[in-house]
Amino acid sequence: MRRFRRIMLIALASGILAFLIVPFLIPVETNGTLTAAEAAGEGAEFLTVNGLEVHIETAPYTGDDADPPLIVLLHGFGASTFSWREVLQPLAQAGDVIAYDRAGFGFTERPTEWQGENPYGTPGNLALLDALLTEFAADREVIVVGHSAGGLIAAEFARLNPRTVDRLVLVAPSVYTAGGVPAWLAPVLGVMQIDRLGPLLVQGIASSGEQLLEQSFVDQAVLTDAVREGYRAPLTVMGWEAGLWRFTTAPRGNNLLANLDQITQPTLLITGDADTVVATADTERLATELGGERNPPELVVVPRSGHLPQEEAPVEFVDVLLDWLKRE
């Protein structure tokens, strides 16, 4: 019996020692081979915001208004400015348009260390949007458009900054299913050994991301090889895994869901009629809860469309948005 206990103690001690040491012996390398600028391509535009090199795309206003509004586009999880490619220029009929890659995605810098606010978390996302509006808004009307997880950021920012955001557009917004790491799991992921291997753990996004992309479209013919390549391009950036891991473990806390009636701006909700990523029913439910009785949003359900109506039905998407902007 004593011998058995001694063997068990030795095995336990060996296991603990292996857990403490082995993760630091495993090489953690990136699959990416390019810098962000190289991956983004010639002519790509970057702007330093809050110490972060942010990839942006812009479309100048094409109308004749002397003081056009600023339209800001926020993409969803796993996406980038690429997801706005079909509507960026057409929306310039209504104002100056800017789309940007949120921290952890696209070609925006992916730091592993920073001073001050974590750029990957909800507070950091709100701070980045605020800084961009300070740079571009110049005391003019601001229209914030957020898709999916970007919709949550857009809505929370609008709630907290009613004097900054004049109108709000939420496209299949991920409000009821915000995602992120459960609070109870965060301390576990913060353990040095697990944190060390984190970038390896998220490398599977390359394959699971393909499945999510396919689920986002009703008409798979729209999901061409060129579209797939556009979504894969950020995965060629050196260190994308470390950035995604930092995003995964970043704080997601916000108070939007408990305060939906506090959004006072005119709001448009757009969803596809066959969205299974953020269920169409979720956006329909949001239409009954956001803004309260005094400021209900307008809801438009785009037929034969999934989670990405701005890509799957870009003409209808632009028509709906421009018509709403004119009426509002």
pLDDT for 307: 98
Q: Is residue 7 part of a domain?
A: no
pLDDT for 251: 86
Q: Is residue 26 part of a domain?
A: no
Q: Is residue 154 part of a domain?
A: yes
Q: Select the highest-mean-pLDDT range: 91-95, 176-180, 205-209.
A: 91-95
Confidence grade of residue 219 (pLDDT, cut at 50, 70, 90): very high
CA distance 25 to 164: 50
- Summarised one tens digit per residue, pLDDT across range 118-175 is 999 999 999 999 999 999 998 899 999 999 999 999 999 999 999 999 999 999 999 9
pLDDT over 50 (residue 276): yes
- Summarised one tens digit per residue, pLDDT across range 175-198 is 998 665 555 555 555 555 666 556
Q: Is residue 25 part of a domain?
A: no
Look at 64-78, 198-212, 243-257 and tell me which has the smallest mean pLDDT. Answer: 198-212
CATH number of the domain residue 314 falls in: 3.40.50.1820
Q: Select the highest-mean-pLDDT range: 189-193, 206-210, 290-294.
A: 290-294
pLDDT for 9: 40
Which of 189 and 237 is assigned the larger pLDDT?
237
Average predicted confidence (pLDDT) for the chain: 87
Bridge-partner residues for 57, per DSSP?
A: 99
pLDDT over 70 (residue 12): no
Evaluate the CA torsion angle 270, 132, 86, 217 in order and state its sign.
negative
Q: Is residue 128 part of a domain?
A: yes
Look at 51-60, 100-109, 236-245 and tell me which has the smallest mean pLDDT. Answer: 236-245
Number of structural domains (the chain) is 1
Look at 17-31, 75-89, 184-198, 241-255 and tell me which has the smallest mean pLDDT. Answer: 17-31
Q: Is residue 83 part of a domain?
A: yes
- Summarised one tens digit per residue, pLDDT across range 63-84 is 999 899 999 999 999 999 999 9
Q: Is residue 1 part of a domain?
A: no
The residue segments making up the domain with residue 210 are 42-327
pLDDT for 187: 59
pLDDT for 14: 40
Confidence grade of residue 316 (pLDDT, cut at 50, 70, 90): very high
Evaluate the CA torsion angle 200, 82, 154, 45 in order and state its sign.
positive
pLDDT for 178: 61
What is the DSSP code string of 54-81?
EEEEEE---S--SS--EEEEE--TT--G
CA distance 106 to 237: 9
CA distance 39 to 34: 6
